[in-house]
Amino acid sequence: MDASVQRSDRVAVYPGSFDPVTNGHLDIIRRAAKVFDKLVVAVLNNTSKNPLFTVEERTELLRKVTADLPNVEIDSFRDLLINYMKQKDAQLIVRGLRAVSDFEYELQLASTNRKLCEDIETFFMTSTPKYSYLSSSIVKEVARFHGPVVDLVPPEVERALRGKYGSRPKA
């Protein structure tokens, strides 16, 4: 167990691919950091996906955009979430819900995780309405065609996206 965490601390894990981290993700991170003693934002290394950013790039971007949050730790994992939770001595999973369509999938995940370990609870946070439409997939699609993502992602992520997709050619 991490020496900076007491056994009575409420440790939560916010797992995801974060490819890339959006303002919607950051909103959930900031709000969850106020609720829990420690929040571990865990980048999933999902081998079934073809991510734009490497795990290392995603964790570094998350570190930059959460640097002002002292109780937030950035990490990555490639195991079952429940196994990772046990490693971190965490009891709560944080999941963001944007729309009703997210709920069915998230409920399946929460139920499966509860079946695997009944001591783990899932904490659902609804997105702030201004980010309810936002996803990493949408951000990548807009950025790929050189559309403006300034209001969708933190500045560090916007720069990283421009680096991946290049700048729009001058007319």
Q: Is 98 a catalytic residue?
A: yes
Q: Is 38 a catalytic residue?
A: no
Tell me whether residue 48 is annotated as binding. Answer: no
Tell me whether residue 136 is annotated as binding. Answer: yes
Tell me whether residue 135 is annotated as binding. Answer: yes
Tell me whether residue 64 is annotated as binding. Answer: no
Q: What is the DSSP string of 144-171?
A: HTT---TTTS-HHHHHHHHHHH-PPPP-
- Of 48, 49, 43, 53, nearest in space to 20 by CA: 53
- Of 38, 58, 88, 98, the active-site residue reads 98
Tell me whether residue 133 is annotated as binding. Answer: yes
- Mention every residue, 6+ apart, whose C-beta is less than 8 A from residue 8: none
- Of 49, 130, 144, 159, the active-site residue reads 49
- Of 25, 38, 58, 88, the active-site residue reads 25
- Of 38, 88, 136, 140, the active-site residue reads 136
Q: Is 146 a catalytic residue?
A: no
The three-class DSSP label of residue 99 is coil
Tell me whether residue 95 is annotated as binding. Answer: yes
Laid out side by side, the sheet with 121-126 consists of 72-77, 38-44, 11-16, 92-97, 121-126
Measured CA to CA, the distance from residue 83 to residue 51 in angstroms comes to: 23
Tell me whether residue 105 is annotated as binding. Answer: no
Tell me whether residue 98 is annotated as binding. Answer: yes
Q: 70 preceded by cis ω (within 30°)?
A: no
Q: Is 136 a catalytic residue?
A: yes
The three-class DSSP label of residue 11 is strand
Tell me whether residue 127 is annotated as binding. Answer: no
Tell me whether residue 168 is annotated as binding. Answer: no
Binding-site sequence positions for ATP: 17-18, 25, 96-98, 106, 131-137
Binding-site sequence positions for substrate: 17, 49, 81, 95
Binding-site sequence positions: 17-18, 25, 49, 81, 95-98, 106, 131-137
Residues annotated catalytic, as ranges: 25, 49, 98, 136
